[in-house]
Chain A
């Protein structure tokens, strides 16, 4: 029998990036906020040096990630197959605990390109409707780049993000991204210096006529105090970033940017090991009355609230909507319904670039995103796609994020995976190898979606989210095109040898190969309740006192890393709740 608790103004489900922003903004607005986090509490002392620099614990066993023994997803390639559980973390990492994926990201802090936000109408206008495959279900965001700009800026200020501006108020600046949308001001902190691998990439790219620039990075380069009075310190290129907590207070995370201020608010309460199993609805289903959750001892509680913020990881947002019966589940056969619609991922390719022993790459000197060089000429719609028959694209990146030998040691093509030959190659090449990568978009398709698995359940008995997904021709064409452009840069870098990992037509989505953790969609944003689950502010069309934040809102996946766009959409929603919703609760957009 569940215990019903005292009502609060706001209940926040999941205390990662988006939950921390909402909790902070609503606590600042005077609301009594309770955050329910299924995992443990973590602050920056959990990532102390030197224990933070432990590849086995963090990089390989994944100490910061969700333990799949308690919860996972199931995956299949098509609608006619039986899905099987994702039993080991490989292709994408599922986060857990306070801070969520905001703790263990790399800090690649991108804004979308303006056309990423009106992606359907832009492509139809430029290339015509027939250019898009019949089963491609891409949509526009219900917000333009210029409308979103102040909130993209706000999230950069939060993180002290380092970079070199390419476009300030319409004026292009050398050294920055010539394709970036109009910024109203420069990055908070200057870009970190390039690593040796990035310098070589940038030089070759320049010789080929491109305009390389430093990757925008939430790896702070100089001390920075953000809008909540929280201070970040400079990155030292330690080489332990993705999959690790930052021991230097340099990587933007809820712990380094929000929680020190939030935890001191008397009107904020955090409850850890509190796993929300359901959002409760009124009898007519039009209003959320609160949530049901289970604590560490297995006791069940009902937390009533006036406003519910769903801010868990993308896949968990989708499952919570399905389990709670909010919104119409998506049906891939008819194309009707919205919850679970438009699951997408990203498509990468990677070159190992091998030099002779006279070139010191020092791969262990690296940051998650700082110190990397980029060209953005073949991303989004930065070039004429007409002759190539696909939409979307990828950025091309050069440099090293670290030299951790279990995950980042490359050997030249043709070298076996073990034995004396492998060992000699590891010894000879480790210090002299860098990498070039393409980081690409994936479109939405009628048959790529999320629903509830009919067989497999998590430790609490809740059905697993089931992902139905495989690659499509548009993405094979995209990755081949951009990878060939990257190959020209790699060859210009004049290495002794290079290796290439690329997905080709016929290759299935391989859950054993890490690509990115950027899984998106399922509770998508839009202008029409028939084709989207939430409005531009993240507000549910069906239950107006429920707001949903995160990559679940993306109608399709862009070529950039998602966190900058997530932060912008979240701040836009948070301000709308503070400035409009709390004064007059109800739908902020009329359907």
Chain B
């Protein structure tokens, strides 16, 4: 046996009670795990509002405005900003994901291929936000006289819709639809991912739809099909809702 870290199942079962989960995390994934600061913020105990690390003030204004149109606040449940989606995205930009470690980013980049062949832009997630937000604010200012975050809600929705359709011509980003795909995906991630990543404050989205989070044990419900499951969500770090 060549790997010292290997433990037999029997040994593992004996030790399981004292095992600290964090020591078993892969190094490559550790950057995904929250910092202590994120923990405080996600618990809602932070006295000061979240200060973005990656996004500039102008970009931050766009991000807050845009995500709150994608998932608006209303009586159904929290909006994106209330759920901490911008904070989630800012933190993701500092992770391996934000830096493009999950994507093949070697050239040449051939962008005039069918959309079905997938993302082909020479932008990591960080780079795409940086380039696209500047482009969108310029187009909004040229067309409407104001950057995106200063437009009224229905005009913002029109801009987002044209981004979604890929019909909004941008000065630098050749396929504006690609930015919309990323923005919407990241927004829903921040809304529905475990709160330890900075979004989904107080598991608000899980409570809204009825998802049980990391509960992940339904032995007692296996033969009660069709009956409403009675327990609320729990988070990976043990928050209960």
Contacts and interface: CB of A to CB of B under 8 A. Distances in A.
A75 B116 CA distance: 10
Given A51-B25, A55-B194, A238-B218, A360 B229 contact: yes
A505 to B, nearest CB: 15
Interface in A51-82: 51-57, 60-63, 67-69, 72, 75-77, 81-82
Contact of B211 (A193, A240, A260, A364): A364
A62 B65 CA distance: 29
Interface residues of A, number: 92
Contacts of B118: 75, 84, 86-88, 90, 511-512
B123 to A, nearest CB: 11
Q: Which of B6, B208, B209 has the most CB of A within 10 A?
A: B209
A424 interface: yes
Interface string A418-453: 111011101100110000000000000000000000
B147 to A, nearest CB: 21
A58 B108 CA distance: 29
B76 A427 contact: yes
A43 interface: yes
A423 B194 contact: no
B56 interface: no
A519 B29 CA distance: 27
Contacts of B25: 51
A46 interface: yes
Interface in A212-233: 230-231
B219 interface: yes
A54 B214 contact: yes
A168 interface: no
Nearest to B114: A508
Interface in A97-149: none
B106 interface: yes
B50 interface: no
Nearest to A510: B116
A111 to B, nearest CB: 26
A61 B209 contact: no
Interface residues of B, number: 78
B32 interface: yes
A45 B19 contact: yes
A460 interface: no
A362 B1 contact: no
A76 B220 CA distance: 49
Interface stretch (A266-274, A338-346, A531-539): A266-274
A406 B188 contact: yes
A260 B10 CA distance: 9
A63 B26 contact: yes
B32 A423 contact: no
B169 interface: no
Interface in B192-230: 192-194, 197, 205-206, 208-219, 221-223, 225-229
Interface stretch (A155-163, A194-202, A491-499, A563-571): A194-202
A455 B225 CA distance: 54
A587 interface: no
A54 B194 contact: yes
A52 B217 CA distance: 12
Contacts of B69: 418-419
15 contacts: A40-B26, A43-B12, A45-B19, A50-B21, A55-B192, A60-B193, A67-B102, A89-B102, A196-B225, A230-B9, A236-B218, A237-B221, A362-B229, A418-B187, A508-B114
Given A44-B12, A88-B118, 13 more contacts: A49-B216, A54-B194, A55-B194, A75-B117, A75-B118, A81-B113, A231-B9, A264-B1, A362-B221, A365-B221, A409-B192, A423-B76, A430-B211
The 3 closest A-B pairs by CB, nearest first: A430-B209, A53-B214, A56-B193
